[in-house]
Amino acid sequence: MQSLWNDTEAATFGTDLLGQRVYTSRLLGRNPALVLHGGGNTSVKVTERDFFGDSVNLCYVKGSGWDLGTIEREGFSPVRLDALIKMSKLATMSDEDMVLQQRAAMTNPNAPAASIEAILHAILPFRFVDHSHANAIAALTCNADGEARVKEVFGSRVIIVPYFMPGFILAKTIADLIVGRDLRAEGIQGMVLLKHGLFTFDDDARKSYELHIEMVTQAEEYLATRSAGFQPSEATISEDLLSLAKLRQAVSKHRGFPQITRLNASPEAVGYASLPNVATFGTRGPLTPDHSIRTKRAPAFISDDIDASVQAFANDYQAYFDRNASGQTKLDTAPRFALWPNHGIVSFGDTLKDANIVADIAESTAATVALGEAVGGWEPLPESDIFAIEYWDLEQAKLRKGPARKVHQGKIAIVTGCAAGIGFAIAESLAEQGAQVVGLDIDKDIPDIMKKIGGIGIVVNLTEDQPVQDAIDFTVRQFGGIDIVVSNAGIFPKNDYLDAMAQTDWDRTIMINLTSHQKLMNKVIPFVKAGIDASIIFVGSRNFKAPGPGASAYSCSKAALTQLCRVAALELAPNKIRVNIVHPDAVFDTKLWTPEALQKSATRYGMTVEEYKTKNLMKVEIKSKDIGNMVSAMASPLFSKVTGAQIPVDGGNDRVI
């Protein structure tokens, strides 16, 4: 492992102690083998003037909710050093009191809550303290011989600390270990917390950080010599997207919410998931106890019977809870990641961000557990210690802080013809309500257009079979399934009477407005059947019930599309998939309607543009966003018992009513 220290870069963070602390914290956070997603913590001790001008000794400790990799000055909580040291001298202290007293001792009450390891940072008599949950330290110490190995690698440079729950008890244990000692004279440069992580310390920011890198490198080198000959499995990678969607469906059912699902099918991930005995050693426990908050104690192991595998995980989790619980409320019994031989490692989350965090931890876990097993047997903490962290109220609080759940959170939607107008408004409404949206359009700008709403755009000619299949497969590969399909793509050909119409205009309209929808259904329905509270919505037109002269191709295609919707509703009702159609009318905020075209049409009716735009019974203007919001509602639980319905969004039309 290399030190990432760079003098020029360091200078941009300021030369004061807190500036240096921010810089080296980021260096630690930049390396995923040291720190992942909120893991690890750092501190610096400084003397400052308080509001009244009095000198005060502070310990700036990483605040909770901040990641080391992106931390800023305001991510550190200024806590009075004497208060923290006083706390370490108490015989006992509850977690709640510790959190409260740490906050009471802050000179800025608006700063984030200090890390639960603040007392531990305070009692170490060095200016800078760096703490990580390095993979190499886990592989070294999650073993029956962990302590002996640490002695062999680090000699007397480090204090070895047996596992204790982080917080007051750990700080107290370490206070007892160092009381009356002169760590500098003894040449102590760090502490290895067995099955937890590494601390290094020094009065110089760079030295403390580089000690960390040096010690982790030493551990890596030790492991490398012991694991020579270890060969990761070279399994054949097979892809089965329908089974992936079924796995997501089973996990979502146990979780109670649709889950964004990330498949890691890299050779490393498939190799690990296919190792002999991985079902045994791969499910013993996490690298470091705080991962259990995100990943639970262990992954699920997926055999050929997907539902039975997920159920087996749920049964095991229930038994684990029953063995360890003492009054806690049980969390859901769904796995957060799964090992799937020949397919890879699959991670689940309420949002893409959550699923990606789990995927990062799972990847790190796979590499480290494989190494730990190869160098003498992976032996993580006993389950009672993991349970104590997984159900620790202070940790649960971190998860509860998330924002309220959106209607379509965790759902995956495909919208066709969404580069502009009604289609874009639909994609936008679904995304606003939390759906992961993939937009299909022939417009080459669709990737950039969808990026604006956090979605993915794919350039597809919907009348061609293979590109449509590829786009559907891509969506499932990316997110694990498909729950919402909005079949919207359509054209409005020029208004020719039947005796003047070019045959190509008719054929093209039927192909795009009708046949392309049928082709999409043919390919997407197998996945929708494995969706969560799945829903298909077609975008029709008022024209179907109130046709106009010169619009035969358009009216007929929309009428047939409505019939396609009705048949699909009949066919899919047994699968609890609802199929409905929305009939918009007179939506003028689209590309088709230039100000000149609007003026021309208004003049033809002898109206002002304003009158023309609102020529419906309710005299209201219909906007693309009205259709978008209606479609989003139709995909929501509001319409959970509605299928085969035709919903007009037209302000009321006397020819239709």
* Euclidean distance between CA atoms 1 and 134, whole angstroms: 11
Min separation Cβ 133 and Zn ion, Å? 6
Rounded to whole angstroms, the Cα distance separating 274 from 496 reads 63
Quick one: angle between helices 393-400 and 95-104, nearest 10?
A: 60
* Nearer of residues 197 and 531 to Zn ion, judged by Cβ: 197
Q: Which stretch binds Zn ion (CB under 5 A): 54-62, 180-188, 189-197, 355-363?
A: 189-197
Indicate the residue whose CB is closest to Zn ion.
197
Q: What is the 3-state secondary structure (H, E, C) of 101-158?
A: HHHHCECCCCCCCECCCHHHHHHCCCCEEEEECCHHHHHHHCCCCHHHHHHHHHHHHE
Question: Pairing mode, if any, of strands 436-441 and 412-416?
Answer: parallel
Comparison of 166 and 434: residue with beta carbon closer to Zn ion = 166
Q: Which residues contact 400 (CB under 8 A, 6 or more apart)?
A: none
- Least CB distance to Zn ion at residue 633 (A): 46
Q: How far apart are CA 235 and CA 232, in angstroms?
A: 9
Question: Among residues 197 and 421, whose Cβ is nearest to Zn ion?
Answer: 197
Smallest distance, Å, CB 164 to Zn ion? 11
Question: Per CB under 5 A, which region of 195-203, 319-327, 588-596, 640-648 contacts Zn ion?
Answer: 195-203
Provide the minimum distance between the beta carbon of 344 and Zn ion in the complex, in angstroms, as a whole number: 29
User: Whose CA is closest to 431, among 459, 458, 403, 450?
Assistant: 450
| 572-601 binders of Zn ion (CB under 5 A) | none
Question: Which CB atom, from 138 or from 450, has the smaller least distance to Zn ion?
Answer: 138
What is the total count of residues that contact Zn ion (CB under 5 A)? 1
Task: Give Cβ neighbours of residue 323 (< 8 Å, ≥ 6 apart).
Answer: 383
| Residue number with CB closer to Zn ion (364 or 475) | 364
Rank residues 42 and 433 by Cβ distance to Zn ion and give the closer one: 42
Q: Which stretch binds Zn ion (CB under 5 A): 194-202, 246-254, 503-511, 558-566?
A: 194-202
Nearest approach, Cβ of residue 198 and Zn ion (Å): 9
Cβ at position 187, least distance to Zn ion in Å: 24
**Binding to Zn ion, residues 70-99 (CB under 5 A):** none
Hey, which residues between 337 and 396 contact Zn ion (CB under 5 A)? none
Is the separation of the CB atoms in 62 and 71 below 8 Å? yes
Taking the least distance from each CB to Zn ion, the nearer of 38 and 421 is: 38
Q: Which residues contact 526 (CB under 8 A, 6 or more apart)?
A: 242
Q: Token pair for residue 333?
A: 């019994």
Question: Do 412 and 481 form a contact (C-beta atoms < 8 A)?
Answer: yes
Interacting span for Zn ion (CB under 5 A) from 16-24, 191-199, 306-314, 614-622: 191-199
Q: Give the C-alpha separation, 269 to 309, whole Å.
A: 19
| Shortest Å, Cβ 65 to Zn ion | 16
Nearer to Zn ion, 190 or 421 (CB): 190
Task: Look at residues 89, 13, 88, 82 and name the one whose alpha carbon lies nearest to residue 47.
Answer: 82
Residues 270-309 that bind Zn ion (CB under 5 A): none
> Which range touches Zn ion (CB under 5 A), out of 8-16, 192-200, 599-607, 613-621?
192-200
- Cβ atoms of 194 and 380 within 8 Å: the answer is no
What is the footprint of Zn ion within residues 196-225 (CB under 5 A)?
197
- The binding site for Zn ion (CB under 5 A) comprises 197
